[in-house]
Structure 1
Amino acid sequence: MTVIVRDFRPADAEGWVRVRRAALPFMVTTPERVVFDLANAAPAKRYRLLVAEEDGELIGTAQVGLAHESPEPGQAFCNPYIHPERTGRGAGTLLLRTAEEYLALAGATSVYTWVLDTPDDLAFAKRRGYEPSRPAHFFHLDLAHGTLPPRQDLPAGVELRTAADFADDPRPLFEADAETTADEPSDTPALLSGYEEWLDEIWRSPGLDHHLTSVVTADGEVAAFSVAETDGTGRYWSGMTGTRRAYRNRGLAKLAKNDSLHRARGAGCTDAYTGNDADNGPMLAINRWFGYEICATEVRHVRRLG
């Protein structure tokens, strides 16, 4: 049996999602989202999708590109995942080698990757020269059988809306997303500066659920939000929950997330997932308050090229 690595083709979308759901059952994605993300990635990202194939069967995937929104040049990423029943065939090594060669030619000086916190996965990363950095957790909340906190009373001047209410002018949501993203703990911090790019990559994404994404306004201004992504199978992912700096420490992020979770359950979602950097204390506290439980941990790793 021979494993080959090649570029993703739109016809691979179903197989891509099958592999990703097997390797990361807590991630929420769809074939349409995979194709959309590739087609609408910013040119500066140099985004590329690789697949590993064994005798015609897709067994591995990798997302590859430059961290073009980072203020530090030369940072790149490669996130390979192999179907759990198809490991040990060399697919991961081939994906990484192909990605690293591509990124080096694109000007990358360091490659970051997420590695599941298991002995086999950590050993694989170490053998290939990757050093551990910071951990992050995946969380799960049972929406079908769990109990959500009751809806909260709104403080004076505060309103709850959805992203759908901003369809005619989503710029206030972009500005809130850009501000909160800049403050998010990360080895590769991002600065969102392009509104049109944000519209193309995020706002118009088929994974973003505008009606389940909750927005808190204070005196008419966007103060906090909780992004919802869904896949049509009852799974819900909190893409980002954040509060603008001027409105922090007022419980508005919790208010937004609570509203979004109630909307999601009402829409038939059965499982809620989210992920947080292990150093993001405020969001870890909010997730514990909702009853989320850790279902997996990943460790960010980095390899210096050259």
Structure 2
Amino acid sequence: MTVIVRELRRGDRTDAEAFARIRHLALPFMLFTAESVAYDLEHAHPDSHYQPLLAEENGEPVGTAQVGVVYDSPESGQAYVNVYVHPERTGRGAGTLLARAAEERLSALDATRLHAWVLDEPGNRAFAEKHGYRSARSAHFLRLDLANGTLPPLQSPPPGVELRTAADFADDPRPLFHLDAETLLDEPSDVDREFTDYEAWLTETWRHPLLSHELTSVAVVDGRPAAFSAARTDGGTRYGTVMTGTARAFRGRALAKLAKNDSLHRARSAGFTEAFTGNDTGNGPMLAINKWFGYEICATEVKYVRDLG
């Protein structure tokens, strides 16, 4: 048995398909496609030094790692390494080699703190702790059966509120950039991030192949986007909301719930059968909203942290 680790090859469809396939098996609650994997590598911000890694056993892809620097954090030295191995190929050295290669790469980039998400399962947690990582916050993956579940009835917007989609902002998405940037500041996280680069947001978020402009709902008040629910799809039957939030000036009016309900109904009408989302375990308000929609917790991830040097 020979296990090696190498960089994912840019422009290589076979590599991208292998990466997406392994991630789907290890993390069926997240959306990955060969197109999204290739896009993330091709269009990553230069300061992120993003480089996915692939582990091969006797030439067969068996493991993956996402490796990069959190370039949009005001705190320097923050980096991430997320290792996931094919569920039937764990315990054979691929994970250790991926982690080691990622750490060497990030150390050379002067990273001082590494962040890694690990599924809340004994073997996964033991692997992280064995490699010197300590546990921190946690987050739930949630799933909703769109095909057979019962969604709350569609609601009419209150006076002065209009429901639109991201597609309505195709000519000028900057208002959505400002809304996304504001809501990000309140997202529970161990690493502060700031959206200040509009062009980077256009590349990494607005033009991302998984983002559905038609299913991303926006609540607009007096012509200003006030709340939104950003939707991604895998081009098949799986749909996910990756960010739902409200501008601070408009909170307390249930506008995020209104936008998400609108998006979910349109996703079901479009033929999507599964809906996924994720919430920090301490984000009680959003967990309550998702419970109201009918989501159920299907898995939990734990953030692990390791300081270098």
| Residue 45 (str. 1) matches residue 30 (str. 2) | no
Q: Aligned to 2:101, which of 91, 98, 102?
A: 98
1:106-140 residue CA offsets vs partner (Å, 9 max, x unmatched): 11001000010001001111100000000100000
The offset of 1:103, in angstroms, is 0.4
Structure 1: state its 5+ residue gaps: none
What is the alpha-carbon distance in structure 2 between the residues aligned to residue 285 and residue 106 of structure 1? 40
| Residue 7 (str. 1) matches residue 10 (str. 2) | no
What is the alpha-carbon distance in structure 1 between the residues aligned to residue 22 and residue 195 of structure 2? 30
1:24-103 correspondence runs (5 A): 24-103=27-106
The offset of 1:251, in angstroms, is 0.1
Does the residue aligned with 1:256 lie in a helix, a strand or coil?
A: helix
Q: Aligned to 1:245, which of 244, 248, 265?
A: 248
What is the alpha-carbon distance in structure 2 between the residues aligned to residue 290 and residue 26 of structure 1? 17
The offset of 1:281, in angstroms, is 1.8
Amino acid of the structure 2 residue aligned with 1:146: G
The offset of 1:280, in angstroms, is 1.4
Amino acid of the structure 2 residue aligned with 1:211: E
Q: Which residue number in structure 2 is paired with residue 295 of structure 1?
A: 298
Amino acid of the structure 2 residue aligned with 1:261: L
What is the alpha-carbon distance in structure 2 between the residues aligned to residue 31 and residue 227 of structure 1? 21
Amino acid of the structure 2 residue aligned with 1:141: L
| Residue 304 (str. 1) matches residue 307 (str. 2) | yes
Equivalent residues of 1:234, 1:271 under 8 A apart: yes
The offset of 1:219, in angstroms, is 1.3
What is the alpha-carbon distance in structure 2 between the residues aligned to residue 154 and residue 200 of structure 1? 31
The offset of 1:282, in angstroms, is 1.8
Does the residue aligned with 2:88 lie in a helix, a strand or coil?
A: helix
The offset of 1:197, in angstroms, is 0.5
1:168-207 correspondence runs (5 A): 168-207=171-210
What is the alpha-carbon distance in structure 1 between the residues aligned to residue 99 and residue 191 of structure 2? 19
1:42-79 residue CA offsets vs partner (Å, 9 max, x unmatched): 11111111000111111001100011111111110000
Q: Which residue number in structure 2 is paired with residue 259 of structure 1?
A: 262
What is the alpha-carbon distance in structure 2 between the residues aligned to residue 29 and residue 211 of structure 1? 19
Q: Aligned to 1:236, which of 236, 239, 254?
A: 239
Q: Aligned to 2:123, which of 106, 120, 129?
A: 120
Amino acid of the structure 2 residue aligned with 1:110: R
What is the alpha-carbon distance in structure 2 between the residues aligned to residue 216 and residue 98 of structure 1? 44
TM-score w.r.t. the length of structure 1 is: 0.99
What is the alpha-carbon distance in structure 2 between the residues aligned to residue 134 and residue 113 of structure 1? 11
Amino acid of the structure 2 residue aligned with 1:81: Y
Does the residue aligned with 2:212 lie in a helix, a strand or coil?
A: coil
Q: Which residue number in structure 2 is paired with residue 271 of structure 1?
A: 274
Aligned length in residues: 306
Equivalent residues of 1:29, 1:230 under 8 A apart: no
The offset of 1:285, in angstroms, is 1.2
Q: Aligned to 1:149, which of 144, 147, 152?
A: 152
Does the residue aligned with 1:241 lie in a helix, a strand or coil?
A: strand
What is the alpha-carbon distance in structure 2 between the residues aligned to residue 70 and residue 285 of structure 1? 29
1:125-164 residue CA offsets vs partner (Å, 9 max, x unmatched): 1100000000100000000000000011211110000000
| Residue 166 (str. 1) matches residue 166 (str. 2) | no
What is the alpha-carbon distance in structure 2 between the residues aligned to residue 18 and residue 225 of structure 1? 30
Q: Sequence identity of aligned pairs in percent?
A: 64
Amino acid of the structure 2 residue aligned with 1:143: L
Q: Which residue number in structure 1 is paired with residue 141 of structure 2?
A: 138
Q: Detail structure 1 runs of 4+ shifted over 4 Å in the superposition.
A: none
The offset of 1:274, in angstroms, is 0.4
The offset of 1:233, in angstroms, is 2.0
Does the residue aligned with 1:86 lie in a helix, a strand or coil?
A: coil
Does the residue aligned with 1:169 lie in a helix, a strand or coil?
A: coil
Amino acid of the structure 2 residue aligned with 1:200: T
What is the alpha-carbon distance in structure 1 between the residues aligned to residue 286 and residue 44 of structure 2? 28
